[in-house]
Each structure stands twice: as structure tokens, then as C-alpha cells.
């Protein structure tokens, strides 16, 4: 019999090794976590430091500490505010539509049956497609020469529908791609939530003859809310950091119509070699996602308390 897993024996050994070892033990146990933390924080700290510098790789002679000047410059830069607006519209549109669709599909598949189980698995397939590949597939499907979707809309009198090539319809196109890829993610989370809800309230409502709309809005939705908040949080954080679909479809164009944060930051670094501006954009994006996730986590905790009672 080994005593490796016996904490009392291990502690006794450390104690026997002397008080110094006993004092060091907690620090030693924390070391792996500390190393991981440093590994994460070093790049973050470096980016924060770069964001306070005028730092363009192509103009090394201009490099210098400028404090918050880059951030202040953004305030008066119409291109930056366009990026904020485009990112906000994209995030709101994708999250709201995916939530509504995901919830609707989850409700349809709520009852366990071989068919519903098979459909829920099949619906997950788009989620397994890399978003950049999905964007390229949609690029082909929306090609005006041979794309199946272009052909389809032409049947409804929209022969010249330009999809991602027109600033007026580009947002709609990339939102559709995002919905195609990520609605299954919401659907599967909400379906798991729906199937785990206690059955008693629903049985009682049925016995009392409560109308279906009342059951949905007063029982199902409140009980499902922690799952909805969780799904929303994940999608929100992902959508606001959107890169691959937009870049693969249009590189942020036409014009600046799809210039979301990540695409602008990517262009600033990899094409314009402007490290300072790119880092500042990423820090702003980090602050936004941090604030949003804080709000949502607090909301989630509040809902959990309401659902399960305070601990």
C-alpha cells in the first residue's frame, strides 16, 4: 500500500523535514499557477506598454513614450468611432438574432426523441466548421456569377443583389454567416438548459390549465435565464472580437463598412507596422470585453442566487 495519496502522511513528512519546508510548501504549490499567470501577463503588460508609445516599426526614429496620446487621438478620429459603431452593430445583431433563433430551435427540439436528438447533432455541424472556411463557402455561395444564394434571391426579383460587395448589404451578409456558424452553439446550451429544468412547475401549470404563453414567459424563461445569460456572455465576447469571418469576406470593406476592432488592429500591425496604435486598439477592446463580462457575470450570479437561493 502506498501512502502517496494520504495528505496526513505527506504533511507529517514535510513537518518532519523541518519548519522551513513547511513554510515554503504553500508557495511551492502555488508556483505552477504563478508561472502560468506570468506567461499570460507578460504579453499583456508588453502590449499595454507599447500602447503608451509612438511606435511604428517603419519609423524607428519616431519611437518614444507618449503616455495616453494615442488613446486621446482616437477620441477625435472618425475612423475609430466608425469602428466602435460597426463593432457594436455587429455584436448586437449577431447576439440578438442568434439568441432568438437558438432559443426557438431549442424549444422545438426540447422533447427527447431519436429524431430530435439526430437533428440537434446535425445542427452542430456548422459549429465544427472553421469560421474562415465558412466565410469562404459563403463567398462562393454569394458569387453573382454562380453562387446558389445569388441565384435564389434572383428568383425573388433581386438579380443584382451584391451581398458583401455593397456597403449597404455587407453587414447583413457577414451577420448571416455568423448566425449560420454560431446559432448551434446557443441552441445546444439552451437545449441542455431546457432539458435540465425541473418538471414539477410545468406539470402543475398543465394541471391548472395555464396558457402556454404564460408558461413560457413566467416559468420557462425565468428558469432558463442563467443559461441565456451564459450563452449571451460567450457570444458577446466572441462577437465583439470578431475577425476571421469579416476579414475573409471583405477585409473590413467595402469602404469602412465592416471595420471591426480586430480587423483594424490586425491591419495596423501587420500591414501598417504601427505597433503603438494596434496595441492601443487591443487594450480598448480588452477594457470593453472586461467591462461587459463583469456586468454579465454579476447578472449571472444574481440569477443563480434567485434560482437556487443564497448560499
Minimal distance, residue 58 CB to another protein, in Å: 4
Please pick, from the candidates 19, 26, 157, 270, the single residue that binds another protein as defined by CB under 8 A. Answer: 270
- Binds another protein (CB under 8 A): choice among 51, 53, 55, 56: 56
Tell whether residue 155 is a contact of another protein (CB under 8 A).
no
Closer residue to another protein, CB minimum distance, 167 or 201: 167
- Among residues 269, 284, 276, 291, the alpha carbon closest in space to that of 67 is found at 276
249 binds another protein (CB under 8 A): yes
Please list every residue from 198 through 217 that binds another protein, using CB under 8 A: none
Phi then psi for residue 218, to 5 deg, are -105, -20
Determine which residue in the list 48, 66, 238, 254 makes contact with another protein, applying CB under 8 A. Answer: 254
Q: Is 126 in the site for another protein (CB under 8 A)?
A: no
C-alpha cell, 90: 455587429
> Cα separation of 237 and 203, whole Å?
37
Report the C-alpha gap between 250 and 136 in whole angstroms: 10
Is the Cα dihedral 266, 56, 282, 78 positive or negative? Answer: negative
DSSP labels for 103-114?
Answer: HHHHHHT-S--H
All three cell numbers of 46:
508588453
Q: Which residues pair with 274 in a beta bridge?
A: 56
Span of 84-92, 107-115, 201-209, 251-259 interacting with another protein by CB under 8 A: 251-259
- Stretch binding another protein (CB under 8 A), from 36-44, 84-92, 115-123, 163-171: 163-171
Cell of 122: 446535425
Query: Which residues are near another protein by CB under 8 A?
Result: 56-60, 62, 73, 79, 139, 142-145, 160, 162-168, 249-256, 267, 270-274
Amino acid at each position: 500500500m502506498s501512502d502517496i495519496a494520504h495528505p496526513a502522511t505527506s504533511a507529517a513528512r514535510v513537518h518532519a523535514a523541518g519548519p522551513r519546508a513547511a513554510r515554503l510548501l504553500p508557495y511551492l504549490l502555488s508556483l505552477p499557477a504563478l508561472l502560468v499567470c506570468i506567461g499570460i501577463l507578460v504579453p499583456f503588460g508588453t502590449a499595454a506598454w507599447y500602447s503608451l508609445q509612438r511606435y511604428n516599426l517603419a519609423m524607428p526614429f519616431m519611437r518614444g513614450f507618449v503616455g495616453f496620446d494615442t488613446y486621446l487621438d482616437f477620441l477625435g478620429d472618425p475612423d475609430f468611432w466608425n469602428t466602435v459603431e460597426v463593432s457594436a452593430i455587429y455584436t448586437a445583431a449577431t447576439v440578438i438574432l442568434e439568441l432568438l433563433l437558438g432559443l426557438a430551435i431549442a424549444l422545438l427540439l426540447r422533447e427527447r426523441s431519436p429524431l430530435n436528438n439526430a437533428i440537434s447533432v446535425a445542427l452542430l455541424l456548422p459549429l465544427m466548421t472553421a469560421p474562415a472556411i465558412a466565410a469562404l463557402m459563403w463567398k462562393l455561395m454569394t458569387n453573382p456569377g454562380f453562387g446558389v444564394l445569388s441565384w435564389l434571391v434572383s428568383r425573388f426579383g433581386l438579380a443584382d443583389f451584391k451581398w458583401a460587395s455593397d456597403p449597404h448589404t455587407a453587414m447583413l451578409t457577414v451577420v448571416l454567416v455568423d448566425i449560420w456558424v454560431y446559432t448551434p452553439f446557443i441552441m445546444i446550451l439552451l437545449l441542455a438548459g431546457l432539458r435540465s429544468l425541473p418538471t414539477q412547475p410545468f406539470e402543475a401549470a398543465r394541471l391548472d390549465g395555464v396558457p402556454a404563453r404564460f408558461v413560457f414567459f413566467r416559468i420557462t424563461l425565468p428558469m432558463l435565464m442563467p443559461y441565456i445569460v451564459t450563452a449571451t456572455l460567450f457570444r458577446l465576447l466572441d462577437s465583439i472580437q470578431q475577425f476571421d469571418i469579416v476579414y475573409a469576406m471583405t477585409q473590413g470593406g467595402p469602404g469602412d463598412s465592416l471595420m471591426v476592432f480586430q480587423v483594424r488592429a490586425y491591419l495596423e500591425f501587420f500591414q501598417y507596422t504601427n505597433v503603438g496604435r494596434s496595441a492601443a486598439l487591443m487594450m480598448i477592446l480588452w477594457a470593453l470585453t472586461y467591462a461587459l463580462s463583469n456586468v454579465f457575470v454579476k447578472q449571472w450570479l444574481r440569477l443563480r442566487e434567485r434560482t437556487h437561493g443564497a448560499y
